[in-house]
Structure 1
């Protein structure tokens, strides 16, 4: 099948998604499932393969994300019901001031997402965004942008998350220097694309009082709230366990210890998050008036549509892979004889746009670029960072995290694009600009050619 036809099919599927979701208000689940079928029919996929691709894509997302999302949602519900998110928001505002609340949530996300999967971290921290919005009288979009950019930057660039770790290993880059330079380029990018862009949005969007899912302001003020310190502990318990599970095997090869660490880090940290939920249920009991069974059921009900959307996004991604659209873009870019840095960035961006996963786009891109990097003698660290930066953009409805942000915060599709999608696209291009400067200075900067 010709590359031209594959590109036309991809563009038609994007147009179909945007028209059905935005203009005709079709449920996104049905839009993505039918879009998957349309692609399969237009590229003449064998019917059995097309159907199995849709079901396997749905199932693979459930395998990797389903339980994590449920556990993260339960932890977030317990924290909110106990008033812990209110206490934490007040604590943050006292320490940094209302004018710098977006900075506080941005840096919190920046640190948390190094060891924790984006979706789980965003779900746990999400209730704080609405509290900050009420207390500062700024649109919640300010804090959505600050948090999502902070979370996704370190998730995409900083080891030990799977994407950058795989990229650095495939390119045989020095892990230590890779971590150092990833943090160097990430910090200013997070502040600009997260805080400054978020504050800019706050001036363009009218303030609307966010809904409080727990209770009204008077009741919230009268009840005893869990202290901020307890909220911090419960949020960081899964991070600590996952980091511990990542680092200890590097120090000790004790078989029992390695097995325990593997359990803590497996499945995006599912066991670590489960331990955190159990700990939260125990420690927050004095501050929660409702019975746990109906409270947790409410949490499940609220996450149902989000989980379905993630599964549909997985189905769409698999059909795009089966269609050969990704390989088509790779061939075209290689034919244009682009520089290695430009090729790496464009490949990562295109694959992120089509497949919807930053980790998948970075891992796929590095498998293509690694042989060229060795042949051309380019800096493996800078090429690796370029790939990771490209994997930040551009988030579309094929991205599972797009729907996590949209559904949890009840945003319009337009607002989801201008907060989550545009914020991380800005981050991508700032990162690429910084990496370009580092490449120009690579002759005298340490570690870049290791």
Structure 2
């Protein structure tokens, strides 16, 4: 028999589980997949999740631990698996054809060679407005790597700048699902223009913080590609020369911009509540999996135009080898999130929400931050927190359109605080940024803490001005 934890005991168990997981990965050097899975099983047992499915007297079935683990694992693959594979394949094609270098040149011409961190930060911020941050990072990573070679700046600084830009717009600005769902739940779904405007305004604070943190941490942490490379033996121009003539700007940009445009248009169609055959087609093409599949087709066209179609099989094979470990670790994080959600932790927080009502606009931030840290998904943290707050908006004095919008922003700030081992984005950034997990805690986890606090500071200042 295992001790069944409830209430405060469950929260303490969760905190201990997170500490054990971090120590297992960083100190004992146990593979993240095994560490997360092991902690998930132990936490499930301590939380009292039954070993097998239990059918109650009313006919309802309570999932057993084995079922919960399976659902968490498969659910992650369903939501992000194919997206990561296709996005990585597009990225590999951009690298192999030299298109990534072409795009890097275009960015440098736009913002200047001396500001690569700012360039990739703003690029990520724009891209992630219609695209999930996980997908956006995978898509833009080849450009990041090319810019590192082009400008000889810190790889970690560029990784953090890109991750920050993507994450900020992902949580703050519709049409990403999180802020849209939160706005609808809090009664301002018909005023999304206000949410978009406020999200853009609030983004200024974390963008500034993210830029300076990226510059700072780039001097403190070295990624694997930097540590292994030693001195740069080839100039950027010599690397470009190996590709011969680079592809033109349009065909280089198409594998990235076409999926973004398809997803953005699909979001517009949904927001405008359009109906009919063309609306259905638009929504279908704008599904991330289908949009990235279309982007992959443009990648194949890019390969053909570069006369490298004979390399397509090898490129695909190499891509699958690279993303395999990422997918499995990400799925393990999904298992931990599922165990936590089933354990009753979220329900306990919801039942005791009134304890935090006295702190006003900070309450949504704290609640979302707790949920984000507990189960890993920013979108889940956004939607769950909004659902909890909906009946409390009047009590908290947040029921006016402006304050409701600021509440969405406060929830979003909490929903990015913090990204760690149970968050798929943590593993995407850490693995594609070629960092060890313990480096991920120093970079991605710390950066999301800085972003969250900077965002909440901005929300608080705006609440004083606009109240």
What TM-score results when the alignment is normalised by the length of structure 2? 0.89
Partner of 1:165: 180
Whether 1:339 aligns to 2:359 is: yes
**Superposition pairs for residues 364-443 of structure 1, below 5 Å?**
364-378=384-398, 379-443=403-467
Instruction: Tell me which of 295, 309, 319 is aligned to 1:276.
Output: 295
Whether 1:198 aligns to 2:214 is: yes
What's the offset of the Cα at 1:219?
5.9
Instruction: Tell me which of 231, 236, 241 is aligned to 2:262.
Output: 241
Partner of 2:328: 308
- Distance, in Å, in 1 between the alignment partners of 2:13 and 2:273 is 52
Whether 1:226 aligns to 2:226 is: no
Partner of 2:105: 90
Whether 1:181 aligns to 2:198 is: yes
SS in 1 for 2:114: helix
What's the offset of the Cα at 1:427?
1.3
Instruction: Tell me which of 31, 37, 58 is aligned to 1:27.
Output: 31
Any conservation in 2 of the 1:88–1:227 contact (CA below 8 Å)?
no
Partner of 2:166: 151
What's the Cα RMSD here?
A: 2.1
Instruction: Tell me which of 81, 84, 90 is aligned to 1:69.
Output: 84
Greater CA drift, 407-416 or 365-374: 407-416
SS in 2 for 1:397: coil
**Which string of whole-angstrom CA distances, capped at 9 and with x for unpartnered residues, describes residues 14-64 of structure 1?**
121011100111111111111111011112210021110010001111111
What's the offset of the Cα at 1:199?
1.2
Any conservation in 2 of the 1:88–1:229 contact (CA below 8 Å)?
no
Any conservation in 1 of the 2:205–2:458 contact (CA below 8 Å)?
no
SS in 2 for 1:159: coil
Any conservation in 2 of the 1:139–1:205 contact (CA below 8 Å)?
no
What are structure 2's unaligned runs of at least 5 residues? 53-63
- Distance, in Å, in 2 between the alignment partners of 1:313 and 1:206 is 25
- Distance, in Å, in 2 between the alignment partners of 1:286 and 1:253 is 37
Any conservation in 1 of the 2:337–2:376 contact (CA below 8 Å)?
yes
- Distance, in Å, in 2 between the alignment partners of 1:380 and 1:254 is 29
- Distance, in Å, in 2 between the alignment partners of 1:242 and 1:162 is 12
Partner of 1:447: none
Any conservation in 2 of the 1:334–1:343 contact (CA below 8 Å)?
no
What's the offset of the Cα at 1:120?
1.2
How many residues are paired up?
A: 438
Instruction: Tell me which of 98, 103, 119 is aligned to 1:104.
Output: 119
Instruction: Tell me which of 137, 158, 161 is aligned to 1:122.
Output: 137
SS in 1 for 2:247: coil
- Distance, in Å, in 2 between the alignment partners of 1:103 and 1:219 is 23
What are structure 1's unaligned runs of at least 5 residues? 444-450
**Which string of whole-angstrom CA distances, capped at 9 and with x for unpartnered residues, describes residues 225-257 of structure 1?**
223443233211111111112224555845111
Instruction: Tell me which of 22, 38, 48 is aligned to 1:44.
Output: 48
Greater CA drift, 286-295 or 257-266: 286-295
SS in 2 for 1:47: coil
- Distance, in Å, in 2 between the alignment partners of 1:419 and 1:19 is 17
Partner of 2:17: 13
What TM-score results when the alignment is normalised by the length of structure 1? 0.92
Partner of 1:448: none
